[in-house]
Structure 1
Amino acid sequence: MEKLFWSIAFPGFGQILNGKLVKGFVLIFLELLINVQANFNKVIMLSFHGDIISAIEQTNYQWLMFYPCLYMFAMWDAYRDAGKGKSPYSFLPFVFSAYFVTVGLIYSSSLKVFGVLFGYVFLPMLFLIPGISIGFLRKIALRNLNISRA
C-alpha cells in the first residue's frame, strides 16, 4: 500500500519505490508537463480559496483532460508492480475511476450540484466516488460470474 499512497501523492513516486526508475521518471515528467500546461496548480489554489470562476478561466482544458487517466494509471501501475494487483479484474476500480473523473472534468465548468458550481477540482473528485464504486461492483460481479462457471 505504501507505493500506492506515494503514487497518489505524486504520479511516478510509486514506480520509483518499486525500482522501475525509467517508468517512474517518465510518469513524473508527464505529470509535470500536464500540470504546467493545464495551469493545474493555480486552478487547485483558486478552487481551494473558493474562486471557482477564476479557476475555470485559468484552466487549459485541453491539457487537463489527460490528467485523470495518467493519474489513475500511475496508481494502478504502482499497485500492480508492488504485487497487489494479482486478483482477477483488480484494475477495474482504477479504470472506472479514470472514466468517471474524466466525465466529471468534462462537465465541471457548467454542472451544478444542489446549485453549487464545483469546478475542475472538486466535481471530478465527486465523480471519483461512483467510479470506484462501480469498478469494485463490476470486479465482484465478474469474479462471481467466473466462479459460478468453474
Structure 2
Amino acid sequence: MIQVEIKKPRRRVADVSILGTTQLHLRNPYVIAWWSATVPGFGHLLLSKYLRGYVLILWEMIINTQAKINLSMVYAFTGRFEMSKDALDLRWMLLYAPVYIFAIYDSYRTTVDLNKTYILAEREKAEYTTFKIGPLEINYLDKRTPWVSVIWSFLMPGMGQLYIHRIATAFYVLSVWILICYQSHVLEAIHYTLMGDFTKATTVAKAEWLLFMPSIYFFAIYDAYTNTVENNKLFDKEQAQFLKSRYQMQNAKKMLKEMRG
C-alpha cells in the first residue's frame, strides 16, 4: 500500500495573536527605505519586524540627542552655520552614521525578500488562525474603517494602532510620543502661545526634541491607515478562501449528481 505524505505548508501570509495581526503583503521597497531615512526603525515597524524596529528607534533618540544632530540642524536651518558645527559632538556623531545607513539598507533588502516570500506564501494558500482568545485579550479578523484609524492617530499617535489591535506598536508609539512631548516642552509652548507670550513660548521649547515630532506623528497616521487597509484585504481573502473550501466542492458534487441522475 502506497502511503501519501501530506506536506505542511512552508509559509503563511498571516498570524493572529492576542497582541495583534501580523501579515505579509506587497510593499514598495523605496517607501520603506524612505521611512527608515526619516527615523531608523520606522521601516522595520512597517515590515512587522518589531524588535529590530523598537531598538533602532530607541537608538536613534539616544544617539541623536547625545550627538546634538537635531540641534545642529536647527542652527543650520536658521543660517547659524558656525553654531551648527560647534553643536555637534563628534564622539557620538561617528556612531550615528553607520547604523543610520544600515537601517535604510536593511529595510530595503528585507522588503524585497518579504515580497518574494509573500508571493510564494500566496501560492501555498496555507490556512491561518482568524480568532485568538487568551486570559488578557481577544483578537480576530474583521473589517474596520481606514479613515477612523487616521482620525484617532491624528488626535493622538498610537490610538490608530490600538483601534486595529496592534497592541505592542500602539503602546510603544504612544510612549515615544509622550516622551517627546515632555522633553520638547511643546505643551508648555502651546500654552504660552495661546496666552500671547511668544517670547516665553520660544524660550521654553526644546527645538532638538521638536524635530522628532513630525516624523513620529505622520508615521503613526500612515502606519495605522495602511495596516487597516491590508487587514481588510486579509479579511476578504480569508472569507473567500473559507467559502470556497466549505461550499464550492460540495455544490459541484451535487450538481454532478443531478446531471447524472
Deviation at 1:51, TM superposition (A): 1.8
In the other structure, the counterpart of 1:19 is 165
In the other structure, the counterpart of 2:188 is 42
**Distance across 1 between alignment mates of 2:222 and 2:199:** 32
In the other structure, the counterpart of 1:61 is 207
In the other structure, the counterpart of 1:31 is 177
Runs of 5+ unmatched residues, structure 1: 85-150
TM-score, normalization by structure 2: 0.31
TM-score, normalization by structure 1: 0.54
**Distance across 2 between alignment mates of 1:44 and 1:50:** 10
The one-character-per-residue Cα deviations of 1:15-72 (angstroms, maximum 9, x if unpaired) are 0111101000000000000000001110111112222221100001111110010001
Matches within 5 A, 1:128-147: none
**Distance across 2 between alignment mates of 1:78 and 1:53:** 36
**Distance across 1 between alignment mates of 2:189 and 2:229:** 35
Runs of 5+ unmatched residues, structure 2: 1-146, 231-261
Of 148, 152, 155, the residue aligned with 1:6 is 152
Kindly indicate which of the two structures has a greater share of residues assigned to helix.
Answer: 1
**Aligned to 1:50, what secondary structure does the other structure show?**
coil
- Percent identity over paired residues: 29
Matched, 1:52 2:201: no
The one-character-per-residue Cα deviations of 1:76-123 (angstroms, maximum 9, x if unpaired) are 111111108xxxxxxxxxxxxxxxxxxxxxxxxxxxxxxxxxxxxxxx
Runs ≥4 in structure 1, deviation > 4 angstroms?
none
